[in-house]
Amino acid sequence: MLARIRAMFARPSPPSPSTGAATMPPKIDILDARDVQARLARGEIDLVDVREENEWAAGRIPGARLQPLSRFDPEAAKPAPGKLLVLHCRSGVRCGKAAEQMLAAGYAAPFGRLAGGILAWAEAGLPVDTGKASS
């Protein structure tokens, strides 16, 4: 009986080469503001802002789309085919939480996060749109 209980709580063995390798988590790159700006201009990334609507209305990175963390939907955050998903927030914390949600939902493609968020973007002197909000 003790052996059966131990077996129930035993950690599974890693897969053997004959049964296949373990799945590696996707790579999450931390990208600086200038890199994000250049890649956004080339149409290589889909930039998703996870700040809340009031923050978005106050100022946003041109070309970003809004997916507030309070109602974040990993399925809706997926990028267009051929584009790299890049998440951003105010300072870089909430986009980490959104990244965790993407991983928990099974998102397996590489993706990125904007280091320092929109604060780092603005500090780098990059444009911030403060016009009428649209999402």
Predicted confidence (pLDDT) per residue in 100-113, tens digit: 999 999 999 999 99
Domains and CATH numbers, the chain: 27-123 (3.40.250.10)
- Whether residue 2 has pLDDT greater than 70: no
- Whether residue 54 has pLDDT greater than 80: yes
- Prediction pTM value: 0.79
- The band of 24, judged by pLDDT with boundaries at 50, 70 and 90, is low
Residue 57 contacts by C-beta under 8 Å, 6 or more apart in sequence? 133
- The band of 131, judged by pLDDT with boundaries at 50, 70 and 90, is confident
Strands (E), the chain: 28-31, 45-49, 65-66, 84-88, 111-114
- What span, in angstroms and rounded, lies between the C-alpha atoms of 106 and 81? 17
Helix (H/G/I), strand (E/B), else coil: 27:
coil
Of 9 and 25, more confident: 25
What integer pLDDT is reported at residue 23 of this predicted model?
Answer: 63
What integer pLDDT is reported at residue 121 of this predicted model?
Answer: 97
- Whether residue 123 has pLDDT greater than 70: yes
What integer pLDDT is reported at residue 63 of this predicted model?
Answer: 96
Summarised one tens digit per residue, pLDDT across range 57-95 is 999 999 999 999 999 999 999 999 999 999 999 999 999
